[in-house]
Structures are given as structure tokens and as C-alpha cells.
């Protein structure tokens, strides 16, 4: 379990990178567990924030921390981010994560005020920088989301597929210690204006990283920049598609693009 220290400005966590969380994630993906080090993006099941029950808001998110919601009662959405992998995290050695809010922008949208936060984390191991992780979050008033777009006229087969169901959503929430109720409480999700349980944005990002890994390309020394295009609801088969030499996208069961990513050389 991670040791944690938190102030209003930053959160610091440290933990030994053991094999068990990676084995659990490999089980979710139905693939062989890694032998020596974590594949890119698998650090998302380590160095986690584990707040007390009294620290959670009714939606399951922490009421305070890094980040602290701009105001109570706002809905939170995961919009995208960028993860740079300088080196893989090795098993059996401690790692440290430092997290802080790197940027905040307040804007007026069609549905009301919006707050955009960029949360930056740096993960080190053995005194060396291993991962730089930026996640873009949006806070908005709780209003119904737009209706779904029509299904794609021509649904491509994709390079590989991943079946989403309630068990997958529950297990991914557990592995990432994500207690946001929209992923496992259908009644709450409907009350929030969603059409069904919401498929995690980070899960789609991890699937795109896995698509790159399956292609034989290493993400070490690279940045995977990703964007969540539209929400994904309920049980269905997601398909992963290579887009040119450096891109990848996720399509839902109706063929709609729901997430995109591109690989760039790290600066």
C-alpha cells in the first residue's frame, strides 16, 4: 500500500512496485502478466489515493485533495491527457509519485460555467524520473448530456476488440480505487444525466496504449497524447484501430470514435 502525504498544493505517495496489482490488471485484460517491469500506463493501478469514507462526496469522489473540486456539487469528467514514459517501473523497488494542479482555466460553456484542470504527476524510481503524467479534468454543472450521435454507416472491424460489461467496469474501478458511482451505480448514473453506466476514460486510454504495445512499438522515450471524444455507455464491444503510423482510436459498438491518441517522441 502506498504511503501518502498531502498538502493543499501537492500529494506525495510512495510504494514498492509489487507484482500483484499488475497480475490483477493482466487478468482483467486476459493477457499474460509482465515479468520484470510495468508496461506503459500500468502505473495507474499503483501509488493510488485511498481516502477515508468520510472524505468522499455523494458521487464517490474525494471532497478535497489534489485536485480539490472548484465547488461542491459539480460533475467531473475525464477529458484526456498525455503520458510520457522515460523508463519502465521495475518490480521489487520503491517508486514515488508527486502530484499537483499544473493549470486551471475557467470558461463559460453552452451548459454553464466550466472549470478545466490539468493535474500533473511525476513518478520516480531509484532517483530517476520514470513517468510524467498529465490528466485533463473538466468540472461542470449537473445537466443532461446531448443525445447520442447516429451509428456509423460503415463499422470497421478494428485490429482487436475488448468486451465491456458490468464486471469489467467494477473490476477496473476496484483496481484503480475509483469510487465514482457513475461506473457501477446505474441509478446514480441515470440521475446524473447519463444513459447507462459510464465506461472509464482511463480504461480507454490504457486500451490505446495496449494497442501500441501490441503493434510492437515501444512507448519508452515517447509521449502518448490522448483525448476522450465522447462518452461510452454500457455493455458493448470496443474496438481498437491503428490510424496511420502514429495514431490509434477507440470505436464503440456502433462504430463511433470515442477516444483518439497519438504517439510523439518525448522532449
Strand partners, 139: 76, 115
Helix (H), strand (E) at residue 29? helix 20-29
Q: Which CATH code fits 3-265?
A: 3.10.129.10
Cα–Cα distances in angstroms (integers) from residue 144 to residues 48, 75, 141, 160, in the given order: 30, 11, 10, 32
- At 224, is the secondary structure helix, strand, or coil? strand
In the Cβ-directed half-sphere of 2, how many Cα atoms lie within 13 Å? 25
Helix (H), strand (E) at residue 135? strand 128-140
CB 150 within 8 A of CB 107: no
Residue 13, all three cell numbers: 505517495
Strand partners, 223: 84, 264
Residue ranges per domain, the chain?
Answer: 3-265
pLDDT of residue 147: 67
**Average pLDDT by stretches of 10, the chain with 267 residues:** 63 96 97 96 96 91 87 89 98 98 89 90 98 95 71 75 97 96 95 92 97 94 97 95 94 94 92
Amino acid at each position: 500500500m502506498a504511503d501518502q502525504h498531502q498538502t493543499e498544493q501537492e500529494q506525495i505517495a510512495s510504494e514498492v512496485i509489487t507484482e500483484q496489482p499488475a497480475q490483477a490488471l493482466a487478468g482483467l485484460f486476459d493477457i499474460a502478466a509482465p515479468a520484470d517491469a510495468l508496461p506503459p500506463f500500468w502505473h495507474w493501478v499503483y501509488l493510488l489515493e485511498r481516502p477515508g469514507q468520510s472524505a468522499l462526496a455523494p458521487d464517490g469522489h474525494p471532497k478535497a485533495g489534489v485536485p480539490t473540486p472548484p465547488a461542491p456539487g459539480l460533475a467531473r469528467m475525464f477529458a484526456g491527457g498525455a503520458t510520457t514514459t522515460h523508463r519502465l517501473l521495475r518490480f521489487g523497488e520503491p517508486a514515488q509519485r508527486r502530484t499537483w494542479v499544473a493549470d486551471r482555466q475557467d470558461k463559460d460553456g453552452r451548459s454553464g460555467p466550466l472549470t478545466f484542470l490539468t493535474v500533473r504527476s511525476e513518478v520516480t524510481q531509484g532517483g530517476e524520473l520514470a513517468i510524467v503524467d498529465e490528466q485533463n479534468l473538466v468540472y461542470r454543472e449537473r445537466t443532461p448530456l446531448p443525445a447520442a450521435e447516429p451509428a456509423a454507416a460503415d463499422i470497421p472491424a478494428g485490429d482487436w476488440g475488448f468486451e465491456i460489461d458490468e464486471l469489467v467496469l467494477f473490476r477496473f474501478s476496484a483496481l484503480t480505487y475509483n469510487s465514482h458511482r457513475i461506473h457501477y451505480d446505474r441509478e446514480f448514473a441515470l440521475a446524473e444525466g447519463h444513459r447507462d453506466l459510464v465506461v472509464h476514460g482511463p480504461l480507454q486510454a490504457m486500451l490505446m496504449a495496449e494497442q501500441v504495445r501490441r503493434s510492437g512499438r515501444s512507448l519508452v522515450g515517447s509521449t502518448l497524447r490522448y483525448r476522450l471524444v465522447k462518452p461510452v455507455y454500457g455493455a458493448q464491444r470496443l474496438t481498437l484501430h491503428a490510424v496511420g503510423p502514429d495514431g490509434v482510436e477507440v470505436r464503440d459498438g456502433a462504430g463511433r470514435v470515442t477516444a483518439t491518441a497519438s504517439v510523439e517522441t518525448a522532449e
